[in-house]
Structure 1
Amino acid sequence: MKSFLAGQEVLQSAMLTQLANEFIVDYQRDSTVVHNNTQSFSVYIDPQLIPEKLSASISGLPLGLHIIEDGKGSQFELEFQVLIMALDGRRIYFVSRVSEPDDFFLLLDKTLIFLLSYLLLSSALGLMIFWLLRRHLLQPVQDLVNQVDLWDFDRGPSQFAKHCEQSDLQVLAESLDELSLRLAKYVKREQKVTRNISHELRTPITVIRSTLDMMLLRNKKVENTQDAQNFDYHISKLKRACGELESIIHAILWLGRESWPKESAIQGGEETQRVIEELSSHPSLQGNAIVSDIQLDVKLHCPDILFRILLNNLIRNALEHGQEKSLVLKLTQTYLSISNTQDKTIQPMNSKHFGLGLDIVKQICKRVGWQFEFCVLDENVNVTIKF
């Protein structure tokens, strides 16, 4: 607003000077020329014709442009621009009255209309530019993103480059196609390795297990000597090792899957009791039962085989590193807790690493979305899994 008022004043001064110069030129041509005075521009060759109030204000002023305020103290205050010029030894007074408030607001209104029109035109131009950018730059990128989201990996490598017309975006699409091809080859190799593990490792384990069963049956026909008991012990130990290896293979194969089939919720209490019964003959228990507090109505959203592998690994680790009669298991709707006291004859477990078994447990918890917590306090070791 300040700049606008200053510009208005400069503009009016320039107009007054221009009109005065034009009158001087006409007067020099014809000294009888008379100007029809108006409020916007008046010419006084004879100082006596100047209005009395204005004459008192401009008398004695030097040549040049002056701003005169008249009517001070009254209800209305007028402002004049007075240009005094000399011609042939006489003074000529050019007077222009500054626009009244109504005229000022009219001019301001026109200026606001101009600014509003400018803003509307700028907005329309900006929207058009944005539409062009979106159509020729953003929309192709969005189409490529949608193609990536809808891409089915099982159908094979992608072909995004065929749907891109822009050269720059086509380079990106070709890079994505190359990456998808590498991923497809990698997945195919992983699937082949998984099939080999599933077949080639399970078969010898099955053969070893059946052979151990036959040897155990044959040994029972022999007299019950100390050697026969030792033989039974070693056979049972080998069978447990086969069971552990088989569970590890199952866990690795399940964790290697990209997605799991949707299954109904399993009964956590029943699965826990089944695992405890299978481990009741573990040498570390020596005929002692595991202290347990199990809620039978616990439902878990997890493949039953993975939950059994998880629980089996946790209990085996606790039995192998704990003292007799120290294992305590608790299962509720919100968590599974297994605690024991470390065996003093075994190196204290001050770290969170119990080997491959516990690492598999961590992977299962991460895949299912459970929270795994491990705590060692003095001689007590506690593992908690929050569902």
Structure 2
Amino acid sequence: MRNGLGLKWVISGSFLLLIAVVLLIYSRLLPEYSVRGLLYTASAMMEEEAQYFARHYKKDPTTPPPHNYFYTSVIGKEALPENIRKMLDTPPSLSFGAVQVFGDLDSEDQDEGRAILAQPLGDGKTLYMYDLDHDQEEGGEVETPLSDAYLDRELHGVIFISLAVFIPALIIIALLVWWLVRPLGRLAQWSTTLKEPDAVSGERPNFSFKEFNMLADALAQSVQQVQAASLREGRLLRYTSHELRTPLAVLKANIELLTLQSGGVLPPPLQRIERSVLNMQRIAETLLWMSRELPEALPEEAIDLNGLVGELIEEHRYLIGKRDIELILDISSEPCRLPLTACRIVVGNFLRNALQYADEGSVEISFQYPQLCIVNRIRETKQAEPSSDFGYGLGLELMRQLCARLGWQIEVSVEQQHFSVTLDFEAASPFEESPAVVAGPSENT
């Protein structure tokens, strides 16, 4: 409901802002177009007076030029006052209709701005009409209290109309938003109860609008599908815990018996089976741990990474085959506290890929807490295409998820036919997704 109220204020505020912008534009355009209306009126009056004079002048050239309180006129440019003649030699600052404005009409000095109309007459002469300034006369400008009062009433009416539109519109918008957002807030509140299975299977409330009811049905259906998938996953984990680990334990026990029978040394085929069983057991345990919704932290213990890497090298030395590969080790012997099983899986995966896909040359392994770096020479710098093979895909995804759960970060770089993988044990926060990539497909992981 809190989110619904927030949405209500956002929508109502948006509509209020829209109305305010419209009123602001209206208030700015109103005086502008009012002035244009006055200019049009002045232009029409002067032009009509000039046309009227031109008709009478054609019949009687002695007809006197028009003159009234607002403007006067003369025939011929030489009859104009000197200041107006100088203005005609400059470009006009404004033109409206038949009238041209020279200078600034708003200036207190009337000599700075004049409105002038030029009307050609039939005999080749020109009638010039220009406005008059009465401010300098005795008594100043004539007051028009009745007209001013009328204008004030009209302006107050405009303000009243603006408020009469603004306030009811705001009330209507607030009611409309409340009417629309209230069922949305109920929908949001109801969605928080879908964590319980009884709420999903129970009767859905009516949210007044067909669209909200359709959204609620789709949401309930999605939650039901997620809960069903979660139940299937739980059953799969239980089956995996028993059906997969049991045969692995049987295989491991039988391999130990075969080791005792053979005097402690297994033939190469059985050694490969032993390694595969050990890897499968570690993967199964890690998958079960990662699949828990809230997995507990793996137990940490003091690890000599130098010895661990040495053991892993001996386990995977068979991958070198007949290639001439030199192992260059620079590993700190200082003990560090890490989860042993996860550390064996991740480091073993990287080492296996480095030995399996390395070109002839050297494989460099260095460790200085908290970073482990493995660099091997490769034949091509082109990155391997993603594969649908379970060996590659599962191994890559497993390394990503495992390192993300443990708070480790993996960085991969390819430079001058050298493939390097850096594992940082303290770079990321636990349970945060990490953009990890392994050096290549592994044998089992």
> TM-score under structure 1 normalisation?
0.60
Q: Give the aligned partner of residue 137 of structure 2.
A: 74
Q: Does 1:141 align with 2:184?
A: yes
Structure 2 residue corresponding to 1:312, chosen from 326, 330, 348 = 348
Distance apart, 1:136 and its partner CA: 1.7
Whether contact under 8 Å (1:291, 1:329) holds in the other structure is yes
SS state at 1:161 partner: coil
Whether contact under 8 Å (2:248, 2:281) holds in the other structure is yes
Q: Give the aligned partner of residue 245 of structure 1.
A: 280
Q: Give the aligned partner of residue 170 of structure 2.
A: 127
Structure 2 residue corresponding to 1:376, chosen from 414, 438, 442 = 414
Give the unaligned 5+ runs of structure 1: 12-52, 58-67, 79-97, 222-228
Distance apart, 1:241 and its partner CA: 0.8
**% of aligned pairs identical?**
22
Q: Does 1:338 align with 2:374?
A: yes
Distance apart, 1:5 and its partner CA: 6.1
Whether contact under 8 Å (1:209, 1:239) holds in the other structure is yes
Give the unaligned 5+ runs of structure 2: 1-30, 42-67, 73-130, 321-325, 428-445
Structure 2 residue corresponding to 1:200, chosen from 243, 246, 258 = 243
Describe the superposition over 1:146-178 as per-residue Cα deviations: whole angstroms up to 9, x where unpaired.
443564267774658326343331122112112
Whether contact under 8 Å (1:338, 1:382) holds in the other structure is yes
Whether contact under 8 Å (2:303, 2:340) holds in the other structure is no
Alignment of 1:170-209 (within 5 A): 170-209=213-252
Compared CA separation, residues 114 and 308, structure 1 to 2 (3 A)? farther
Structure 2 residue corresponding to 1:362, chosen from 375, 400, 406 = 400
Alignment of 1:1-387 (within 5 A): 1=31, 3-4=33-34, 71=134, 73-74=136-137, 76-78=140-142, 99-100=144-145, 104=148, 107=150, 109-149=152-192, 151-152=194-195, 157=200, 161-162=204-205, 164-220=207-263, 231-261=266-296, 263=297, 266=300, 270=303, 272-273=305-306, 275-276=308-309, 278-284=311-317, 291-294=329-332, 305-322=341-358, 326-333=363-370, 335-342=371-378, 350-352=382-384, 355=392, 356-365=394-403, 371-386=409-424, 387=427
Aligned AA (1:382): S
Aligned AA (1:74): E
Aligned residues: 295
For 1:296 and 1:113, how far apart are their aligned partners in 2? 87
Tell me which structure has the larger Cα radius of gyration: 1
Aligned AA (2:291): G
Q: Give the aligned partner of residue 45 of structure 1.
A: none
For 1:376 and 1:280, how far apart are their aligned partners in 2? 23
SS state at 2:376 partner: strand
> TM-score under structure 2 normalisation?
0.53
Compared CA separation, residues 240 and 7, structure 1 to 2 (3 A)? same
For 2:180 and 2:34, how far apart are their aligned partners in 1? 41
For 1:325 and 1:10, how far apart are their aligned partners in 2? 92
For 2:227 and 2:248, how far apart are their aligned partners in 1? 31
